[in-house]
Amino acid sequence: MLDLKFVRENPEIVKENIKKKFQDNKLPMVDEVIALDVESRETKQKADNLRADRNKISKEIGGLMAKGKKEEAEELKLQVTKDSEMLAELEAKEAELEEKIKKIMMTLPNIIDPSVPIGKDDSENVEVQKYGEPVVPDFEIPYHTEIMEKFSGLDLESARKVAGNGFYYLMGDIARLHSAVISYARDFMINRGFTYCVPPFMIRSEVVTGVMSFAEMDAMMYKIEGEDLYLIGTSEHSMIGKFIDTILPESSLPQTLTSYSPCFRKEKGAHGIEERGVYRIHQFEKQEMIVVCKPEESPKWFDVLWQNTVDLFRSLDIPVRTLECCSGDLADLKVKSVDVEAWSPRQKKYFEVGSCSNLGEAQARRLKIRVNGEEGKYFAHTLNNTVVAPPRMLIAFLENNLNEDGSVNIPVALQPYMGGMTVIK
């Protein structure tokens, strides 16, 4: 969420940013919120003046009563009653205007970083760098569900009967591989100095609206009926929410945390053939990383976060690339974002396995996450990134480590988490 003072003083910058994000329908909101802000401040001033007058008159009434001038005092009491009625109207108007302003401010997109490429959608994202040599073997690689099913490792039919489409049973060595990847990712991040955390898997609405836009919430979140609780779509939500309405000592920054959680997503809409199986699902598990830091340090941490994911995938012999998200592909709260994509030998292309985002002070402003610095209080910057999210990540793992005989190699880094196994047969 932007600072209202910034919008008031820089309307053209805000409008230009909206144009860069191809959200021209939001352009009138800038002038609207500025006009509402003027009206709100005028209303507040009138209310403040009435309160001051009321206090002054109340003192005069006391003086008149002390002097026995009851009739004059009663007249002033009538004035106080009228002022109180008018004040109540002004306070109601204040609250109404504040709600209108908040609604618009929660809708206006964050100011993107100057380095972000301008483009309408993800088709215009820009490749930054490749890591590892993408290989296409000289034998046919089956679809990921076929690979898993040959190990008796996937049961989609039973899952459909139990929960519907978008769910799965992982079994045997495939289930063990899934857990091994999560455990390895946890230790990988701990070894990089991050504090491990298992957060709540449900959060209240004030946290939901603090960490994401309304559009994202509607498309992603499952609400618990009859409760002010939502199932998390990623542990970033509850991890950033951990700091809601807090004032952090500057000496405690940066806060670097890595978290495990199940994730639940609606995943609305139809998806292509390559998203069958366990590619796009309603439930999965993920290892996440988040950082809360000083504003001047967020660009550095942004690079650290996406590099962590690249390094983890390379340690498992999976070629990856980084992709800079263009302006139109950025969610409204994001300042800058990089996707990490893994190589698919079967598709002969890369596909997304993680996303790293710098949200500037947007989440901190919504959630009131402040820092007590030497020169006063200020809003922190927040960042997040996927460490690893199986079972989607398993698709890349299985395809890149598959042998012609159908066996799957286990990279050295993962072998201790698989009981010393070097290959799954």
How far apart (Å, rounded) are the C-alpha atoms in residues 284 and 354?
13
State the binding site.
234, 265-267, 288, 352-355, 384
User: How many residues can be counted in the chain?
Assistant: 425
Query: What pLDDT score does 212 carry?
Result: 87
* Residue 132 burial class via C-beta count within 10 angstroms: exposed 0-12, middle 13-18, buried 19 and up: middle
Full DSSP string of 181-211: HHHHHHHHHHTTTPEEE---SEE-HHHHHHH
pLDDT at 151: 96
The DSSP 8-state label assigned to residue 295 in this structure reads G
pLDDT at 279: 84
Burial 53-72 (b: 16+ CB within 10 A, else e): ebeebeeebeebeeeeeeee
User: Would you state the structure tokens that stand for residue 278, as one six-digit string?
Assistant: 């366990």
Phi, psi of 108 (to 5 degrees): -65, 135
Alpha-carbon span 34 to 42, nearest angstrom: 12
Q: What pTM does this model have?
A: 0.89
Q: What is the pLDDT of residue 269?
A: 54
Residue 410 and residue 132: Cα distance in Å, rounded? 17
CA gyration radius for the chain?
A: 27
- Cα–Cα dist 249/258, whole Å: 21
Render each residue's pLDDT in the chain as its tens digit; 425 residues: 899 999 999 999 999 999 999 999 999 999 999 999 999 999 999 988 888 877 777 777 776 676 777 777 667 777 777 778 888 889 999 999 999 999 999 999 999 999 999 999 999 999 999 999 999 999 999 999 999 999 999 999 999 999 988 899 999 999 999 999 999 999 999 999 999 999 999 999 999 999 987 777 777 899 999 999 999 999 999 999 999 999 999 999 999 999 999 999 987 654 443 457 888 889 999 999 999 999 999 999 999 999 999 999 999 999 999 999 999 999 999 999 999 999 999 999 999 999 999 999 999 999 999 999 999 999 999 999 999 999 889 999 999 999 999 999 999 999 999 999 999 99
Which residues are part of a known binding site for ATP? 265-267, 352-355
For residue 403, what pLDDT is reported? 96
- 3-class DSSP state of 409: strand
Report the phi/psi class of residue 284: left, alpha or beta, with left for phi > 0 and alpha for psi in -120 to 50.
Answer: beta
Tell me the β-bridge partners of 377: 372
pLDDT computed for residue 391 by the predictor:
86
Q: Kindly list the structural domains of the chain, giving each domain's residue range(s) and its CATH number in brackets, ordered by start.
A: 4-105 (1.10.287.40), 122-424 (3.30.930.10)
> How far is residue 167's CA from residue 3's CA, in Å, rounded to a whole number?
41
The sign of the dihedral angle between the CA atoms of 346, 404, 340, 131 is negative
Q: Are strands 320-324 and 376-379 parallel, antiparallel or unpaired?
A: unpaired
Taking every pair of Cα atoms in the chain, the longest distance, rounded to a whole number of angstroms, is 107
Residue type, 328: G
Q: For position 64, what pLDDT does the model report?
A: 67
Alpha-carbon distance of 326 to 128, in angstroms, equals 12
Token digits of residue 407: 């066996």
Residues 306, 311, 314: CA angle, nearest 5 degrees? 130
Which residues fall in the annotated binding site for L-serine?
A: 234, 265, 288, 384
